[in-house]
Amino acid sequence: MKITSKPFGVTRDGQEITEYTLSCPNVQVAVLNYGAIIRSIIVPDRNGKPVDIALGYDNLAYYEEDSSTNFGALTGRFAGRIREARFPLNGEEVILPPNSGRHHLHGPFRNKVLQASVCGGSLVLSGVSPAEEEGYPGDLSFSVTYTLSDDGILAMIYDADTTADTVVNLTNHSYFNLNGHSSGDVLGQELQLGASHILENTDELLPTGEILPVANTPFDFRRLAPISQGFPLQGEQMEFAGGYDHCFLLDEDAKIAAIAHSAKTGITMEVTTTQPAVVFYSGNFLMDHPYRGKGGCQYDAQHGFCLETQHAPNSPNMPEFPTTTLKAGEHYHEATLWKFLTLK
């Protein structure tokens, strides 16, 4: 694998941004030190033609201005919604800014300019979230390490330490379209998830706490099935989200968290993770943003899907879920591997 770099613009406050390209024989991944954004993923189709399967922008200004899509970004401090933008911690209430109606969603990491270093064939992007940034306790030192192996596996390793007890839930928010980022909707592409259950959502896309079996529902992706199986919208859960935007709880014996496949291009993606869940989002609100994507294309609803490996949304308010509390002196470490291959 080799890593090259080139300038990618200057932020509004004058900071220079660099695009790093990780290359192996068949896969190229471009990453910005702005928000640790994955800007492109180029994989050959079954005819050897290179296809960019990640949605994104050609210029830095759009990434700065777009506050809703989080294309390719490191998501944190807490991926997912936190109910009423508050949660209990050590007997006190932590209050966050509401940025999704009356709730808190994701946090500020997508806009951070990160320190970059190339270490032993890996790209390491690191930063500090100071105490009380958006209300979160503790100075949080964090990093995400990208490594692309010669067999087309992109490893994403997340690490963090805190000076005071806090909550941490990091993921990546890439949108994929295995037919090519500008090819239209993803409904005909196939998906498999190692999950027999999902978390039920409220109409504000927060977990109710109820765990629902996927059997005999549009959420049954235990075997490869077209994303279109839930469309037109079937049932209240799909209607609340305008499609899929649900937390799939990974089975304990699941060896692979997710597989996505395009019969058109032959491009396939396999996902493994240390995380307990995958939020599958079918890009339901992509029609609501005014910015044109790479090459001037217009993204619309369901033109990309996300597979966000993480802990459950609103976990700090739901003690029955696995904890997302990171205590001072403890170390946060999670990993997700994306394997890209092409089937003939």
173 is catalytic: yes
Of 173, 197, 246, 261, catalytic:
173
> Is the predicted pLDDT of residue 222 greater than 80, yes or no?
yes
Instruction: State how far the Cα of 249 lies from the Cα of 318, in Å rounded to an integer.
Output: 15
- Over residues 179-205, the mean pLDDT reads 98
Tally of structural domains, the chain: 1
Which tens digits make up the pLDDT trace of 105-115?
999 999 999 99
Alpha-carbon distance of 225 to 237, in angstroms, equals: 19
Kindly report the backbone phi and psi dihedral angles of residue 16, in degrees, each rounded to the nearest multiple of 5, phi listed first: -80, 135
pLDDT category, 68, cuts 50, 70, 90? confident
Residue % of the chain over a pLDDT of 90: 96
Reading the block at residue 191, the tokens are 């998906």
Length of the chain: 344
Task: Domain of residue 234: give its range.
Answer: 2-342
Catalytic residue among 19, 64, 270, 308: 308
* pLDDT score recorded for residue 1: 78
What pLDDT was estimated at residue 53?
A: 98
Whether residue 333 contacts residue 159, with contact meaning beta carbons closer than 8 Å, is answered with yes
For residue 116, the model assigns a pLDDT of 98
pLDDT in the model for residue 287: 84
- pLDDT score, position 289: 75
- Give the mean pLDDT of the chain: 97
Question: CATH number of the domain that 246 lies in?
Answer: 2.70.98.10
DSSP state of 312: P
Dihedral in degrees, nearest 10, Cα atoms 191, 268, 80, 161: 140
| Cα 116 from chain centre | 20
Q: CA distances (Å), 232 to each of 242, 243, 292, 331, in order?
A: 10, 9, 26, 44
